[in-house]
Structure 1
Amino acid sequence: MASSPHFILFLALAGTLISRAQSLTCSSQSFSNRSFTHCDDLPHLDAFLHWTYDPKNSSLSLAFLASPPQSAGWVAWAVNPTSTGMAGAQALVASVSGKSPTVRTFNISSYSSVVPSPKLSFLVWGLAAEVSDGRFTIFATVKVPPKTKSLNQVWQVGPAVDPDSGVPVVHEFEQANLKATGVLEFDKKSSASPAPYAHDGASPAPSPAVVGVNETTTSTTAPSPEKSGVAGIRSGNLGLVVGWFVFVWGIFSV
């Protein structure tokens, strides 16, 4: 039987593993002096969205969390008023400027044109950014048209920001990056429905009822079977933790 010190060490390791597994879901996250009605574990790029939709004043308050691939990188959450991909999106981009995290607004008219834009096609206020343990949080409130039922959201992460222009350096083009789009549905809890994606001229699958900011939405796109990003990690958490329990217990019980 394992000695008492070994058993204590085993419990400490087990607690660490459980804590890490829980941190991979938005339900374990909280904010000082802020609260949100819903939270979504976005299906790609290890990203999370906390949000509250207020139909009385047609506003969406949100907190978006993601980690850039490098410490000098950037994260972004965007609304696309006209389509389902990154091209045409209006983005909130967080990065570290000097020693402090900042968030700026950008108009992404095409994949080759990303320019700072003080004004977007919709009102946005309460912009703020935080960074902790390499993970950025973007806070914002977005004005949406009355009676809106959904909007097209896009999220992304990148490795660096141009030091002269402040423009984000292009992100990677892995499947997780290209599929980081979805439809945020205000009247349904399952709000991170995947949306078709397109790149380099490829045409997205038809989705006439889910374009831009919608007054009604009927998504016909089934969730991707690929288990990447948070969705895949979350499904493997239990097996990983149990496996480590058995492995560590076997070592300390010798």
Structure 2
Amino acid sequence: MSKSESRSHVLITGATAGIGYELAKLFAMDGHNLILIARDKEKLKEVKKHLEIYNINVDILSVDLSVDSSCEQVFAFVDKKNLTVDILINNAGVGSFGDFSSIPMKKELALIDINIRALTELTKHFLYKMVENENGTIMNVASTAAFCAGPRMATYYASKAYVLNLTEALNEEVKNKGVKVSCLCPGAVNTGFQNKAGIKKNENAKKNIMSAKKVAQIAYRDLEKGKTIIIPGFKNKILVIVNKFLPRVISRKIIFKINNG
């Protein structure tokens, strides 16, 4: 039996940097074969080279998940190689920053396509097969933003609320069918996401940013424990708890002030 057949396969989107890359390393070190999805083909090749030192198979696919046909490309790639995805990590995500009325529609729709549409398509496709096999794990990456409304990042916060609610509902549906669906909800992470989204953080806010490596370690540990909602960092857990008791009108005013810098 080849190593490709004898070990589980983990499919990770957004796998060339940040949390996705750190999770890929952790799975690789534990002997899991990898299917890595990202836009940058050259970075994928570099990551593949780095991770193959762990004596695993690393398959890579360059695809833009904001394109309608992107998920079909992923499915065709997996089927052509006759691979079974035992673990799916929906990590790919983008943000947008500014007043909703001023952000270009194209940018908002690309966010929705990546954060919501692609995540939903990938989850539905592989969850069906996992339920059929009575085995599998899915982790969808949301954010602490999922727990509140986010003025000046309205679409991003709303997209992460969708991810959290979808994940909780699916886990309830399949928890007795041999499948686990978890949601990772980190706070600010040092991944370059902030700069890409156009977010400027003050010095105090920067102090609370966690490293992608630390977030991945916590996520990996709690995923093995079977936790449904994973919130890395004590401060982030406290913020989520406090937010539950705040009237929404106050919560959104606080977020508005924070997002205004």
- TM-score, structure 2 as length reference: 0.28
Kindly indicate whether structure 1 or structure 2 has the higher relative contact order, using CA contacts under 8 Å at least 6 residues apart: 1
Give the strand-richer structure, 1 or 2.
1
The structure number with the bigger radius of gyration is 1
